[in-house]
Amino acid sequence: KRIATCFIGLLICAKVLSGEEERRNISFTFYKSGVDKVEIVGDFGKNRKIAVLPMLMEEKNKWVIHLSIEPGFYCYRYFLNRKHWRRDPNVKEIAISKVGEIEGRFSVAEVYPTQYYGFIKLMKEFLHEGKKDWAVKVLIEASKKFPEKSEIYIRLGVIYEEDELYGFAADAYTAGIEKNPEDYKLRHLLALCYEKMFETTGKAMYKKNANKQWLILKKRPKYYEEAKQYLMKK
């Protein structure tokens, strides 16, 4: 019985660590006097379906709701007296989207994970949906919380390179190297990125920057031959 209990406990831990169970407690506060009812309307429902949720009046002009939701970016607006729409005045991020049958401009609530695996999971979901901008925002936020994770900077750089934003990619790889100077995969990606910048612009400074990385990489057996070839190129 004791062994069975321990086994069940391990299964529960494994499920939590997989990121499937992570939820965040988020509060929304809206200040408005002279109204009888305020609702929040957004894609908070199961499978991101539309939800119309009543807010509680805590004070004369203060309306509040507390939600437990999975990490993600949520589009929402406030609905006053079932007549008037209002966006959240405290949120700058606006998405032109369709939530359920409602189409228009929505405020965006950015709900980030607490664990590293959650950031990567969320980033992959956004990429799968074709939302590269949101995937980049997730990775940038992840880099603030987990600066030692080289994978973050690699994924950022790869996304930028796909859109031929080589300058941004180089910045991402450089930031990663500053945090992880012994990560030669990052240096290799940075060197190749500078080579692409040199090829597309013809500016010698990019070749010079690439060569700095190749000289370091040349000392590593894995990159020796490739580095030697690039250092010979003019």
* Assigned domain for 210 exists: yes
Q: What's phi and psi for 194, nearest 5 deg?
A: -65, -35
* Assigned domain for 100 exists: yes
Residue at which a domain ends, from 111, 133, 158: 111
Whole-angstrom CA distances from 224 to 10, 112, 174 are 46, 41, 21
The domain in which residue 222 lies consists of 147-232
Residue 106 is part of a domain; what is its CATH number?
Answer: 2.60.40.10
The tally of domains found in the chain comes to 2
Asked if 96 and 69 touch (Cβ cutoff 8 Å), the reply is no
Q: What is the pLDDT of residue 154?
A: 98
Asked if 140 and 171 touch (Cβ cutoff 8 Å), the reply is no
**Span 26-37, average pLDDT:** 94
Same domain, 154 and 198: yes
Per residue in 83-97, pLDDT tens? 999 999 988 888 877
Residue 188 is part of a domain; what is its CATH number?
Answer: 1.25.40.10
Same domain, 92 and 44: yes
What is the token pair recorded at 148? 């030692």
Residue at which a domain ends, from 60, 85, 111: 111
Per residue in 198-212, pLDDT tens? 999 999 999 999 999
* Assigned domain for 93 exists: yes
What is the token pair recorded at 28? 């929304």
Asked if 66 and 21 touch (Cβ cutoff 8 Å), the reply is no
What is the token pair recorded at 20? 């499937």
